[in-house]
């Protein structure tokens, strides 16, 4: 039974390295990929009877996304966006409270993602264990769906729309540079002795 199209899934984490024009577009592009991979987790969690190779490939794709690309997106928000919002909004207010909540929610997301990564590691090496992991997988997927639904909504409806009023065009350009820099491969050059 083919439960999903693996080829369309496996390419997504690498797209994290291709940067659209503005910081807002980049952040929203990440959100589209988060939704895609949460949906893939939902599909895989209920894919009992799928071919072991497909289970292993989907688990590997989910692992790659949540271990590599999601931390980059969270760093975009925690290390690039949040400090600038803090400077622009030192006092309380709706947007500042939402930004503080965003940082707290990242910690809760990280705990659930750690559990998801553990399950995906098991499935990558032992795809036949899907039935025995199904309950745990369902639980963590359901929790991630709920947490991300609230988290992405908060960012998209309260924080992101405020950026153009709170930050200058120069700050937006700086953010774009930082977001791009974060995705550049780190090259280590070894000089001959």
Binding positions for Fe ion, rule: CB under 5 A: 77, 155
Between 41 and 80, CB nearer to Fe ion = 80
CB of 79 to Fe ion, least distance (A): 12
- Confirm if 28 and 152 have CB atoms less than 8 A apart: no
Nearer to Fe ion, 132 or 146 (CB): 146
Distance in Å, CB of 72 to Fe ion, minimum: 11
Interatomic CA distance for residues 80 and 84, integer angstroms? 7
Which of the 8 DSSP states describes residue 162?
G
Of 41 and 105, CB closest to Fe ion: 105
The dihedral built from the CA positions of residue 166, 172, 174 and 176, taken in this order, carries a sign that is positive
Shortest reach from residue 21's CB to Fe ion, in Å: 18
Q: Backbone phi, then psi, for 157, in 5-degree steps? A: -105, -25
What minimum distance in Å lies between the beta carbon of 191 and Fe ion?
40
54 vs 77 by CB, closer to Fe ion:
77
Q: Distances from the Cα of 109 to the Cαs of 74, 148, 150, 165, 187, in angstroms?
A: 10, 8, 11, 28, 30
* Length of the chain counted residue by residue: 193
């Amino acid at each position: 039974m083919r439960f999903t199209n693996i080829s369309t899934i496996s390419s997504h984490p690498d797209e994290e390295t291709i940067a659209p024009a503005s910081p807002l577009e980049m952040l929203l592009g990440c959100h589209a990929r988060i939704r895609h991979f949460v949906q893939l987790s939902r599909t895989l969690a209920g894919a009992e009877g799928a071919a072991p190779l497909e289970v292993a490939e989907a688990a590997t794709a989910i692992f790659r996304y949540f271990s590599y690309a999601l931390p980059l997106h969270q760093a975009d928000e925690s290390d690039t966006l949040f400090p600038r919002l803090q400077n622009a909004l030192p006092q309380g207010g709706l947007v500042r409270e939402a930004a503080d909540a965003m940082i707290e929610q990242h910690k809760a997301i990280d705990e659930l993602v750690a559990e998801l990564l553990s399950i995906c590691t098991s499935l990558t090496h032992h795809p036949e264990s899907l039935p025995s992991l199904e309950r745990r997988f369902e639980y963590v997927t359901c929790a991630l769906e709920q947490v991300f639904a609230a988290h992405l909504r908060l960012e998209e409806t309260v924080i992101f729309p405020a950026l153009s009023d709170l930050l200058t065009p120069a700050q937006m350009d700086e953010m774009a540079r930082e977001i791009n820099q974060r995705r550049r491969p780190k090259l280590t050059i070894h000089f001959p002795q």
